Structures are given as structure tokens and as C-alpha cells.
Structure 1
Amino acid sequence: MARNKYPEQTVQRILEVATQLFLAKGYENTSMQDIVRALGMSKGAIYHHFKSKEELFEKVVLHFYSREDWFSAIAHDPAMNGLQKLQALFRHEMSDEEKLSVDQLYFTQIADPRVFMEHMRLNITESAPQVAKIIEQGNQDGSLSVAQPLETAELALLMANVWIGLFADSREKFIHQISLCRTVLEGLGLPLFDDALVAQMQDYYDRTIFWAREAKRGKIADD
């Protein structure tokens, strides 16, 4: 059997096609055979890289969350100060339509601890240092006053990606979590959450966390 000379490109193509199908049809309604047909590859070629649909889904979600193209564009925008860049990053997280669709998938399959733990690892080891650099920019331009940029970045991401939302059993609790997070970060010199971002986060809750909860209960019919 001929060896694939470009395995990374093959994996990238599988992830891209699988992402499109998961977003269009949903996780449950997408079979490995659907992905095989869309790719025009043999089933064996796909299973060489991914042992199951569950593993492929994990990699799709984590691959999307590790993308940095949009992050870099905001981080290097000379028209914004440090605080404005951070607020722009969070607004993107709350409003980008493709991100919202992936988050819907994520929240409907969150029971898998491997996806959750790898997502948290990415937040701490990859995202937090980048956020810390923007906080340092804010310290330099006067828009922020944060004594410990890296630790504050880690805390902000953990609160935003773990505590807020995942452990909110109601919209009211979600709002209370945002309020406390806002108070904590302001006390650390990071006034990230203005009223506009808070309102956007509430809309995010309705479109992802609440949506996924209702979908799992069978209350949202497929289009």
C-alpha cells in the first residue's frame, strides 16, 4: 500500500469536511459514511487517522477552537488600545456565527470529559499567554492596570469558559455569574465587561447553552 506523503494535509481536509457536515446536519445526523462520501476517500483512509466518529468530533471542535486567524487580526489592530482589543475578542467569541454553531455542537456533546479537558488545556497553555500579552499592552497604554497579567488572563478564561454557563442551570444564575465575574475582574484592574458585552453574553446564552439544553431534551425540532 502506498504511503500518504502528506498526512497533515489529509487530516486538515478531513477536519474541514467533517466540520461542514456536523454544522449542516448536526452530530447525531452525520454518519461516518456521510463524511466518506463527501471526501471521496476510502473509509480505511479516514479510520487510519480517526478511530471513531466520536474521536473525529473531538478533533473538529478542538481544531476550531485553536484557530488564531481572527485572534491575530484583533491583537495586532493599531487602532485599539489593550482594553478595546480584549473587549473585541470577547465580542467575537459571543457573536461570530460559525463559532456559535460550533458551540452549539460543543454544548450538546459536553458529556465527553476528554473534549472538556483538552479545551481547558488549550485555554491555559495557548490562549492565556496571548491574552496576557494584550493585557500587558493595556498596562503600557494606560487602558488597564493589572498587576499579574498571565494569572489574570488564566482566571478570566477559566471563569468565562468553565464557571459561567456550564454550571448555570438557569438564565438568572448565568446573569449572576457574569455579574460576579465582572466585579472580580474589575478588582484585578481588568474592567472587561461593559453593559454592551454583558447584553451580548446573555444573547449568547440563549443561542448556545439554553439552545443545547433544549435540543437534548428534544424540544427543538430539526429544520
Structure 2
Amino acid sequence: MRITKHPEERKQEILETALGLFEEKGIQKTSMNDIAETMGVAKGLIYYYFRSKEELVEAVVESFSEGVEKEIKMLLSTEGLSFHRRLGQVVKVFFLSIQEHPALMSITPKNPGLFELVKTSLSELALRHAKVLLQKGVEEGYLNLQYPEYMLKILIHGIADLYVEGVVDPKVHCTLIEEALGLSTGTLLKEF
């Protein structure tokens, strides 16, 4: 008997399987056929939802970003967290998400655009949510920034560039964020 799944459920299953295989084999070495075989379905089903591997990779990145955003929104809406704790937790979510999915952060000569896609997606996400958090920090007197939005852009893009250069230690990034925002040393690292 043939099992029919709801289209959104099937699409999510494809995305999760693809991400798992990307992590296991690498994006370049994972084919649409590998995904279909792992799921036990015909390759045509994968192509029904995604016209190409590139489209599937973009959807995996989008799904990844949506998951990170969901965690960030939950943190930002949690009652009772201090400004410093909330900021530290947000930074932690970004770093753990990146560390847990190294295949999405890999740069390969055949596909340098993948890293740029992930970097842009996460940077936009960080700008959107951290902007609100920094503005609140200024309003509540935790931060003394004349231009919080510009400082945020410098921090996010600078951290992303450092990551590309191989600086992946969260301690370094947390220290730089603390120094740039005028926070006490170790404020953000408490969350790691």
C-alpha cells in the first residue's frame, strides 16, 4: 500500500534528510538520488518539490535560518531575562547553530556562493532581531551607543568576516562584542 503524506510534511522530510546527508557526506557529494534512496522514495518525488539541487540547497538554508529565528524569537519573548543574559543567549544561539551545521558553513571552490547565502541569511536575521535588543539596551541604560544600528552592522558583518578568515572561537567573538558595546569582560561568555 502506498503511503501518502501531506505536502508540507513531505517537503519538511526532504529538507531534513537533505540536511542530514549534507552534514554526513558534504553538499557537493550528496546527490538528489542519495536523498531519494535515503528516504525510500523515487527521485522524481524530490524533483516534484525542488526543481534542482541548487533550489533544494537554498530551501535547506532557508529552513535552517527559520529554525534559528524561531529560537531567537522565543528568547526575546522570554520574561524575566536580564538584558545581558538575553544578549548572551542570542549570541550563543547563533554560534551553536553554526557549529552544529558545519556543512552549511563550508566554502568550496565549486560553490563559494553557498557560504555567502548562509552568511547573508544569518546576518539579516541578526540585524533584524539584535537591532531591537540593542535599542532596548540603550533605552534601559545598559548601553551607551549614539548609533546602535550602525554599531550592530559593524559587529555582525565584522564577525561574519572574521569567521570566514577562520576565527571561529566564540570567546574571541564574545570579547569583541563586549568591548565594542562597552560591556564588562565575561558578560556574554557566562552563557557559553
TM-score (norm: length of structure 1):
0.64
Q: Name structure 2 gaps, 5 residues minimum.
A: 1-5
1:182 aligns with 2:181: no
- CA RMSD in angstroms comes to 3.5
Partner of residue 152, structure 2: 153
* Secondary structure of 1:194's aligned partner: coil
Aligned residues of 1:14 and 1:46 also touching (Cα < 8 A): yes
Partner of residue 191, structure 1:
183
Q: C-alpha displacement at 1:164, in angstroms?
A: 1.3
SS at match of 2:183: coil
Deviation, 1:165, is 2.5
The one-letter code matched in structure 1 to 2:183 is: P
1:51 Cα deviation (Å)? 4.2
Instruction: Give percent identity, aligned residues only.
Output: 23
Show the counterpart of 2:73.
Answer: 72
- Asked if 2 retains the 8 angstrom alpha-carbon contact of 1:86 and 1:192, the reply is no
SS in 1 for 2:131: helix
- Note the C-alpha offset of 1:62: 3.9
Name the counterpart of 2:88.
87
Asked if the contact 2:18–2:35 (Cα under 8 Å) also holds between the matched residues in 1, the reply is yes
How far apart are the structure 2 equivalents of 1:30 and 1:125? 28
The corresponding residue for 2:125 is: 126
SS at match of 1:66: helix
Structure 1 position 42, deviation (Å): 2.5
Residue-by-residue CA offset, 1:26-80 (whole Å, 9 max, x unaligned)? 4456442231133343212212443444543343234213322211121122222
Q: How does 1:22-171 map to 2 (within 5 A)?
A: 22-27=22-27, 30-67=30-67, 68-94=69-95, 96=96, 99-102=98-101, 104-111=102-109, 112-161=111-160, 163-168=161-166
Q: Is the 8 A contact 2:85 2:188 kept in 1?
A: no
- TM-score, normalised on structure 2? 0.72
CA distance in 1, matches of 2:188, 2:76: 20
For structure 1, the residue ranges without an aligned partner over 5 or more in a row are 1-5, 201-223
Count of residues paired in the alignment: 183
Please tell me whether the aligned partners of residues 50 and 56 of structure 1 are also in contact (alpha carbons under 8 angstroms). yes
CA distance in 1, matches of 2:184, 2:45: 46
Structure 2 CA distance, aligned partners of 1:31 and 1:193? 46
Could you say if the C-alpha distance between residues 148 and 196 of structure 1 is closer, same or farther in structure 2, counting changes exceeding 3 Å?
closer
Structure 1 position 134, deviation (Å): 0.6
Q: Distance in 2 between matches of 1:47 and 1:93?
A: 31
Deviation for aligned residue 1:23: 3.0
